[in-house]
Structure 1
C-alpha cells in the first residue's frame, strides 16, 4: 500500500504543521506498519484554534441570521469538494481505520455523504423564531417570541471507527446552525480530519469558522478543549468512561455537552420469526470487525429454539471463514481491528468469556496469517448469561454473544438489563407484537423486522450510558441552537 500524505492542522484559515514541528506516525491496521505522518498539535496550537473559533463567532458574520443562505452555499460547495475527493476518503478509511472495501461503500464514505445531503435537505425545516402571542400580566400586555440562535464555539471530538461519518454528523450540523467549530479527530485517523481543513480552505469558508487539531496523545487536546471557557459546547462520540470524564471537566465551565457513547445493543429473534435459523445466521457480527457503537452484539433467542439458533450461527460462521481480511477484495466487509491496543482489548474479552463459562461456538483466535496487522477471527459465544461481563461490557470487536430467554417479557427484561441503550432490533412474523416490544426497550433506536432505524434524516442517540442528545436529521442541527425569549411591552 502507498503512503498517505502528511496530515496537517488547520487553524484560523491556515494549513500548517505544529508550532514546534512535532509529528507522529499513523499506523496502517492492515499491515501494522507506518502509513504516514501527522502534525502533533501543541498546547499553543489548540489555544490558537480556540481563539480563532471564538473570534470568528463573536466578530464574524457566520452566525448572523442574515447569512444563513451563505452558510448553506458554503456547505454545499464543501460537499461537492468531498465528492470530488471521494477516492481520497476511501484511501483514508482503508489505511487509517482499517476499513474493508465493501464497508467503505457503506458507513465509512457513502452513508456519510448521503447524511450530509440530508442535513442540507432538512435545513429549511429549522425553526428560528416562534411567536407566542400577547399575554396580560398585572395590567399590561407583552408580546412574546422565542428566537433560536447558534450556541457558539463547538468542539467536535470524534472517534476512529467511522471517522468521516461522525465528522460529517457533527461538523456539518454545527456549521449549518451558525456555530464555529474545532474538530479534534482521534490520533489513529488524523487524515480524515486534515482533509476537512484542506477542502474548507478551497470552499472559501471564512478563517476561524472551522479549525482542525490532532495529536499523538489521545486525551491532551480534548482535555484542553473541554476545560476552556471559550468553548461553549462539546460534541463527543466515543467510550462511556471518556464521556463521563468530559461531563466532569465540562461542568467546571457549565458547558453544554452532547455525548454519543457506547452500546451493547440486543437483537431479539422471537419464536415466530420467519426463517428463524437464517435470521439468527444473519446476526453474525462481522461488519467492520464489530467496531460500531450501534452494532447488535447481543443476540437474544428463545430457549425453546436455541439449538436451531446455534446450528444456523455455526453454519454462518463456517461459511464466512475465508470471506474476510483481504484489503483488495471488493466483497469483503471485515478487515482488522484498528490497533494493537484494540486487538489486545478484544482478545482479553475472549479469554474472559471462556473463564466466565461461556461456550465458544466460533472463532476466538488472532489471525497473524492474514497479515502484519490486527486480525481477529469472527467470534461467537453461546451459553451466555446476561450477567456475564461479555454480555454487559462493550467489546468493540467481532464478538457476538447469544443469550436465551423464556418469553416476550423476559426478552425485554434482558434487553433492558444493561448500562447502555443505543440501538437494537426485534424480529417477528407479527409486526404489532414486535413493535409493542420495541416500545418497551429503553434504547434510542430499534429496528423492527430489519427496518432501517439509523439514517441521515433520523435523530440518532442513546439512553442511559449510551449518552445524551441527538445527532443527524433536523434534531442534529437543533442540538447546536439555544433559545432566547424576547418580550415587548405593548403601549397602553
Structure 2
C-alpha cells in the first residue's frame, strides 16, 4: 500500500455553489487508512456555516435556473460525469482501497465500476422517461376535461451517505436525483470523504453542471446531517446508514414534513433446505460474511441449516473459512480487508463476546488475527448453536461474524427468517428450484436470491421491509423516489 500512495486521488476541498473551497474556519480532519492505521491526508471539516451556504446554493440553483426543466441538458451533464469517472477510474480505485479498506477486487464491481456504468443507465432512463401521461378526457360533474399526470422534481435533496460502499451509494443518490431535475447537497461519511469530494471536483472541473446543482460538504461533525434534515429549504432527505440513525433522520425531517428516503440495516438469512447442495450453501455463506469484512447491509449474516444436516454444514463451513484468504486490501487475491476503524472493531468484538455470553458456541475466530498486528482486522468468526432470539441473531453486527441456526423444515425456516425487525435480503438454496421459490415467496424481504441468483444491478430496485427502510433505491422505482406527481386538468 505504501508504494502506491502517490497514485491515490485526493481532494481536500468541498464543493459549494460551483466552487471548490476550504471550510469557513479553515478546519480539517484526518483521513485514515484502516489497513495501515496511517493518516493519508486531511479533508476540509465543514461547519454549520458551510452547510448553510451549500443549502442556499442548491435552493438558488433549483429556483432560479432551468435545471429542473431541461432534461436534455441534465442527461448531457450526467454523461459528462460518467466520462470523467471512467477517465480517472484507476486513481479513484486506489482512493477507495486506501480510505474504505475495500479489497481492490470489489472495485471492479460494486465499489466503483458498476456504479459508473449505472450512471449511464440513469441517463438513458431520464432521456427516454415518460414525463407526462395522458389520462384522456372525462366529464366529472359534467365538466369535460383532459387530464394529464406530470412528473416533476421534488426540489433540493439532502443526501447523507455511509462509508462502506461510498462511490456506489453516492452515485445511487446523486445520479437519479440530478437526472430527475433536483439539486443536491451531499454530506458523506467522515471515514470516506475523498470519494465524495473527488466527485465534487470532477463535477466542477469536467462537467457543465451549473453552480449549486451539486454541493459536497464533508465534515467530522455528525450534527451537520441533522442540520440538513431539519432545514426547511431542503425538500427531501435520502439517507443510507444504520437503523438507529435513520430514526433520528426521520424525526428531524418530520418538523417540515419533508420526504424521507431511508435505506437502513439488515440481518438477512441464508436458508438451506434439507435437500440443498451443502457445498453451494457453505460457499455462499463464506463469500457473503467475508465480503468487505461483512460491512454491508444486505450481507447474509444468519445461516439457517436443517437440523438433520447441521453438524455436516457447520464442519464444512469451519474448514472453508479456516483457509480463507484475508488481509491487505490492495492484494487482488484478497476478498476480506479490515473494518473501517478501531471503534467498529471494538463494537464487533463486543458482539462476539455477548453472543458467547448468551449461549452461542464460538467455533472459529472471535478475535484479532495475530498475523495482522496493524490495521483494524477481525478474524472470520462463526458462532454455532445460536438462539434465534439472541442479540447476535437479532442485531446488525457489521463485521465478519456468521451466526449458524437450525431449522426443522421449510415452515420453520421461513418463520426464523421472518423473526427479525429487518427485512432487507436473503437467500434460499434447494435442489428444487420450485421449492426454493415457494420458500422465497414467503420471506418478508425487499430482495432475495434463489439458489445463488444475483439481484444487483442499476435497473433493480433495492430496499427493505420493516426497519430496513422506507422506499427503494435504483431502478425505475428508485428514480421515481425523486419525483413528485402533478395532476393537471384542462377544461375543454
Q: Distance in 2 between matches of 1:87 and 1:233?
A: 33
Query: What's 2:55 paired with?
Result: 50
Instruction: Return the offset for 1:211.
Output: 0.3
Instruction: Return the offset for 1:125.
Output: 4.7
Query: What's 1:29 paired with?
Result: 34
Aligned with 1:257 (options 257, 260, 265): 260
Aligned with 1:10 (options 11, 15, 18): 15
Deviates more, 1:92-101 or 1:463-472: 92-101
Q: Distance in 2 between matches of 1:365 and 1:86?
A: 35
Deviates more, 1:371-380 or 1:397-406: 371-380
Query: What's 1:439 paired with?
Result: 441
Aligned with 1:117 (options 116, 120, 141): 120
- How many residues align? The count is 484
Matched, 1:83 2:86: yes
Matched, 1:153 2:142: no
Instruction: Return the offset for 1:139.
Output: 2.5
Give yes or no for contact 2:26–2:44 (8 Å, CA) kept in 1. yes
Matched, 1:294 2:298: yes
Query: What's 1:142 paired with?
Result: 145
Q: What is the TM-score with the length of structure 1 in the denominator?
A: 0.96
**3-state SS of the aligned residue for 1:131?**
strand
Aligned with 2:413 (options 404, 411, 414): 411
CA deviations 1:59-100 (Å, max 9, x no partner) are 111101xx2011111100110100111122212211111111
Query: What's 1:462 paired with?
Result: 464
Query: What's 1:318 paired with?
Result: 322
Instruction: Return the offset for 1:476.
Output: 1.6
Instruction: Return the offset for 1:444.
Output: 0.3
Query: What's 1:244 paired with?
Result: 247
Give yes or no for contact 1:25–1:34 (8 Å, CA) kept in 2. yes
Q: Distance in 2 between matches of 1:139 and 1:255?
A: 36
**3-state SS of the aligned residue for 1:317?**
helix
Q: Distance in 1 between matches of 2:145 and 2:472?
A: 34
Q: What is the TM-score with the length of structure 2 in the denominator?
A: 0.96
Q: Residues 292, 253 of structure 1: CA spacing in aligned structure 2 closer, same or farther, 3 A cutoff? A: same
Query: What's 1:133 paired with?
Result: 136
Deviates more, 1:368-377 or 1:34-43: 368-377
CA deviations 1:161-191 (Å, max 9, x no partner) are 0000000100001000000001110000110
Query: What's 1:449 paired with?
Result: 451
Instruction: Return the offset for 1:138.
Output: 2.4
Query: What's 2:227 paired with?
Result: 224
Query: What's 2:212 paired with?
Result: 208
Give yes or no for contact 1:194–1:212 (8 Å, CA) kept in 2. yes
Give yes or no for contact 1:263–1:423 (8 Å, CA) kept in 2. yes
Aligned with 1:389 (options 381, 388, 391): 391
Q: Distance in 1 between matches of 2:17 and 2:376?
A: 37
Q: Distance in 1 between matches of 2:89 and 2:373?
A: 27
CA RMSD, 1 decimal: 1.2
Q: Distance in 2 between matches of 1:379 and 1:411?
A: 23
Q: Distance in 1 between matches of 2:376 and 2:211?
A: 40
Instruction: Return the offset for 1:387.
Output: 0.4
Give yes or no for contact 2:237–2:260 (8 Å, CA) kept in 1. yes
Deviates more, 1:366-375 or 1:95-104: 366-375
Query: What's 1:305 paired with?
Result: 309
Written as runs of structure 1 = structure 2, the 5 A alignment for 1:94-105 is 94-105=97-108
**3-state SS of the aligned residue for 1:442?**
coil
Q: Distance in 2 between matches of 1:61 and 1:357?
A: 62
Q: Distance in 2 between matches of 1:75 and 1:328?
A: 30
Give yes or no for contact 2:303–2:402 (8 Å, CA) kept in 1. yes
Written as runs of structure 1 = structure 2, the 5 A alignment for 1:58-73 is 58-64=63-69, 67-73=70-76
Give yes or no for contact 2:34–2:375 (8 Å, CA) kept in 1. yes
Give yes or no for contact 2:146–2:489 (8 Å, CA) kept in 1. yes
Give yes or no for contact 2:183–2:213 (8 Å, CA) kept in 1. yes
Deviates more, 1:282-291 or 1:361-370: 361-370
Query: What's 1:40 paired with?
Result: 45
Give yes or no for contact 1:269–1:280 (8 Å, CA) kept in 2. no
**3-state SS of the aligned residue for 1:230?**
coil
Q: Distance in 2 between matches of 1:440 and 1:93?
A: 37
Query: What's 1:483 paired with?
Result: 485
Q: Distance in 1 between matches of 2:370 and 2:162?
A: 26
Instruction: Return the offset for 1:133.
Output: 1.6
Instruction: Return the offset for 1:278.
Output: 4.2
Misfit runs of 4+, over 4 Å: none
Query: What's 2:189 paired with?
Result: 186
Instruction: Return the offset for 1:426.
Output: 0.5
